[in-house]
Amino acid sequence: MDHGSDVVLNTAPIHRQARRRSIPTRVDTEQEWSDTRRCGRRTNDTGFTLVELMMVAAIGTTLLAITSTSIGHLLERSRGDAALAGVLSQLRQARDLAINRRRTIQVDFVAPNEVRTTQLDIPNGTTLINQFFLEGDVQFVQFASVPDTPEGFGAATAVDFGNETPYFIVDGMLVDSSGAALSGTVFLGLQNEPSSARAVTVFGGTGQVRGYRWTGITWVEQ
């Protein structure tokens, strides 16, 4: 019984010591929390270097410049196309009116951007049919770097009808003041922007109206 009592008395302190070791101390907890925060800072500090950021900025600037240039050319072409469509419509309408009304229709191209159609009344007098203005800063203009159209009706001036006033007559022909068939060309576009160049031709013998777009290399019929 004495030996059993000695065993109990000797092991009790050992158990208490083991329990004390299993409880984390305040110092240990603070150390672990400090390590965790340091790890978090290392993770958050990782990112792009200055060189990488400069490369991204340079690429972005280049793409922006390319996009802006492309958009600019698209806008120029769009305005040129709209003006071409407007002039084609005015000339074709004038020809149709001459045929349908059995009247002579005078066409005037007034610088810098007006197409005016007038009916010659019988026995005299005139009636203004329409005034059409080119929009988007498009004007009658002939670019030195842009050649004549495939018809070759003339490219001496932006509106080249041989210094004659054109008239659509009852059979659809385009004639001059003497009644002779008159062919000619109207060039238009944005000043100093050859990519916007457009042209309208009229063949006097039939009054046929055609539109052309300049591609930078050649004329393409629209």
pLDDT at 54: 77
What's this model's pTM, rounded to 2 decimal places? 0.69
Give how many domains the chain has, as a whole number.
Answer: 1
Q: On the CB side of 50, how many CA atoms lie within 13 Å of its CA?
A: 0
| pLDDT tens digit sequence for 130-172 | 999 999 899 999 999 999 999 999 999 999 999 999 999 999 9
DSSP state of 181: B
DSSP state of 45: H
Answer positive or negative: Cα dihedral of 39, 44, 45, 48: positive
Per-residue HEC secondary structure of 1-35 comes to CHHHHHHHHHHHHHHHHHHHHHCCCHHHHHHHHHH
- Calpha distance 116→110 (Å, rounded): 7
| Residue at 96 is within a domain | yes
| Residue at 94 is within a domain | yes
Say which CATH number the domain at 65 has: 3.55.40.10
Q: Would you say 201 and 210 are in contact if contact means Cβ atoms under 8 Å apart? A: yes
| Residue at 59 is within a domain | yes
| Residue at 26 is within a domain | no
pLDDT at 42: 45
| Residue at 201 is within a domain | yes
